[in-house]
Amino acid sequence: MKITDYIIPVLFIGIMAIGLGKKTNVYNAFVKGAGKSLRLVGDLFPYIFAVFLAIGLFKASGLSSLTAKVLTPVLVPLGVPVELTELIVLKNISGSGSLAVLGNIFKVYGADSYIGRCASIIMSSTETTLYIAGIYFADTKVKRIGKPLAIGLLISTMSVFLSCWLCKII
Amino acid sequence: MNIIWVGLFILSLICFMINGDASSLGVMIGSGKEAVLFSLELTAVYALWMGFIEISTQSGLLENMSGRIKPLIDKLFKNSCDKAREFLALNLTANLLGLTNAATPSAISAVKELDKENKTPYPTYAMCMLFVINATGIDFFPATVIALRSAYGSADPTSIFLPFVIVNLINSLVGVLLVYLLCSPRKQKSSDCVFEALTEGTIKRSSSHR
C-alpha cells in the first residue's frame, strides 16, 4: 500500500474513535447521515439527467470531434499536440468520457510518450467544470453563473497550455 | 448553463441530421440510462460520506475543525455564516485529502447554506470562490490518472507528479486571484451603483426631454 492508500482507513477510524470518545451514538449518526444521501441525489437527478443527455448527444453526434477539428488550427500553433484536442474538448464536460479518451491515448502513443505525459497532466489538473456548474447550483435561487463559469473554463484552458509547455521542460 | 445546454442539444441534433444518423433517440435513452446508473452509484458514495460527515457533526469534530481554520475560511470566502463555514471547512479538507467524492456533497450543502442569505439570482462571492476552487481542483495526488498510467504499462507512473503539482498550484492561485479581482462584493456593488446611476440619469434626461 502507498501512503495515500492509508488516508481512508485512518480517516474513518479517527472519525469513529472521536465519535465514541465524545459519547456520540456513532451508529445512529451514520444511519441518519447516510439517509440524507437518497434525498440529495433525488434532488440532483434531473440535473444529472439533463447534463448526461447533452453530453451523450455531443459525443455520439460527432459534434465533439468536429469541435476538436475546428480547434486544431488554433491550438497547434500554441504548442498543443493535435492528438490531444479531443481530450481537451471533453475534459470540461465529461469525466468518464475523457477518461476513456485518456486510456485510448495511452494505448496508441504510450503512457510515457510526450503526448501521454501531457494528457496525464491535462486530465488530472482540472475537474469537469460544466458538470460541477450544473450540480452545485442545482437547488438554489442562483441562475446567473456566467462569471464563475468563465473563470473556471479560462483556467482549464490555461492549464492545457501550461501542461504542454511544462512537459517539454521536465 | 441554459444557453450552453440548449446549444449543445440543438447543435448535436443538427449534426445527427446532417450525418444522416437515425440513432439520436437511442443515444438519448442510452445517456439517460447512464445518468440513472450514475445517480445510483452517487447515492452509494454519498451515503457513505454523508454518514461519516454526520458522525463528525454530532461528535463536534466538524465544529472544532472549522473553528480552527476559521480565519483562513473567513478571509478566503469572505463569509460570516457559521453553518456555511462548517461545510466550507469540510470541502477544503476533502479537497486537500484528494477525496473528490466527499467534496461534492459538502460543497452542495455549503452552497445551499450560502443561498439562504443570497437574495439575487447571481452567485455570491463565497459561491464563486467555492466553485472555482473545486473546478480547478486543489488536489495533492492524481490517483486515478496514475492508476491508469500503470495499467497501460508506464515505466514510471508517478513521473507526472512534479509538473502536476506545478500546474495545479498555478491553477488554484490564478483561480483565487481572478475570483478576488472579478467577483469581490464591494466591486460588484460599486459597478451596480454606477449602472443604476447611469440608467437613472438617462431616464431623468429622457423624461426631461419630454
Q: Which amino acid is present at A123?
A: M
Chain B residue with the nearest C-alpha to that of A116: B149
How far does CA B60 lie from the centroid of its chain? 26
pLDDT tens digit string along A79-111? 888 888 888 888 887 777 788 888 889 998 988
d(CA B72, CA A164): 33
Position A37 in a domain: no
Task: List chain A residues with CB under 8 Å of B37.
Answer: none
Nearest CA in chain B to A47: B35
Q: Do B148 and A106 touch (CB under 8 A)?
A: yes
**Average pLDDT for B21-50:** 89
Helix runs in B59-159, H state only: 61-68, 70-77, 82-96, 100-116, 125-136, 143-151
Q: Would you say residue A137 lies in a domain?
A: yes
Q: Please name the residue of chain B whose CA is at the shortest distance from the CA of residue A27.
A: B55
Q: At residue B16, what is the residue type?
A: F
Within-domain flag for A163: yes
Residue A2 within a domain: no
Of A25, A142, A163, the CB nearest to B122: A142
| B163-195 per-position pLDDT tens digit | 888 888 898 899 889 988 888 875 444 444 344
Nine cell digits for residue A60: 455520439
Please say if the pLDDT value at position B205 is more than 70: no
Residue for grid cell 443538427: B14
> For residue A130, is it within any domain?
yes
Mutate to test the interface with A, among B34, B160, B183 (most CBs of A within 10 A): B160
Residue B48, all three cell numbers: 457513505
Query: One-letter amino acid identity for B189?
Result: K
Q: Is the pLDDT of residue B208 over 50?
A: no
Q: Which three cell numbers stand for residue A121?
A: 497532466
- Please tell me the total count of domains within chain A: 1
Q: Half-sphere exposure (CA, 13 Å, Cβ side) for B64? A: 10
Please report the pLDDT score of residue A95 as a whole number.
75
| Minimal C-alpha gap between A79 and chain B (Å) | 16
Of the candidates B48, B144, B9, the residue with the CA atom closest to the CA atom of residue A55? B9
A102 assigned to some structural domain: yes
Cell of residue B133, nine digits: 476552487
What is the residue range of A70's domain? 44-169
Domain boundaries, chain B: 28-204
Q: Nearest-5° angle of CA B44, CA A15, CA A35?
A: 30
Domain assignment of residue A120, yes or no: yes
Q: How far is CA B206 from CA B197, B198, B203, in A?
A: 14, 12, 5
Buried b (16+ CB within 10 A) or exposed e, B113-144: bbbeebeeebbbbbbbbbbbbbbbbbbebbbe
Name the residue among B31, B47, B3, B113 with its Cα closest to residue A136.
Answer: B113
Q: Is residue A165 part of a domain?
A: yes
Using the Cβ of B184 and the Cβ atoms of chain A, whether some distance falls under 8 Å is answered with no
Contact A120 B145 (CB under 8 A): yes
User: What span, in angstroms and rounded, lies between the C-alpha atoms of A143 and B11?
Assistant: 23
> Span A11-17, mean pLDDT?
92
Would you say A130 and A112 are in contact if contact means Cβ atoms under 8 Å apart?
no
Contact A151 B112 (CB under 8 A): no
A60, A112, A127 member nearest B137 (Cβ) = A127
All 3 cell numbers of residue A5? Answer: 492508500
Residue A164 with chain B: CB contacts under 8 Å: none
- Phi, psi angles (nearest 5°) of residue B34: -60, -40
CB–CB of B99 and A49 under 8 A?
Answer: no
Say yes or no to pLDDT of A77 above 50. Answer: yes
Confidence of residue B73 (pLDDT cuts 50, 70, 90): confident
Chain centroid to Cα A72, Å, comes to 22
The reply to whether residue B34 touches residue A112, judged by beta carbons under 8 angstroms, is: no
What values do phi and psi take at B159, rounded to 5?
Answer: -65, -15
pLDDT given at position A61: 87
Q: Is the ipTM of this complex over 0.90?
A: no
CB contact under 8 A, B31 and A52: yes
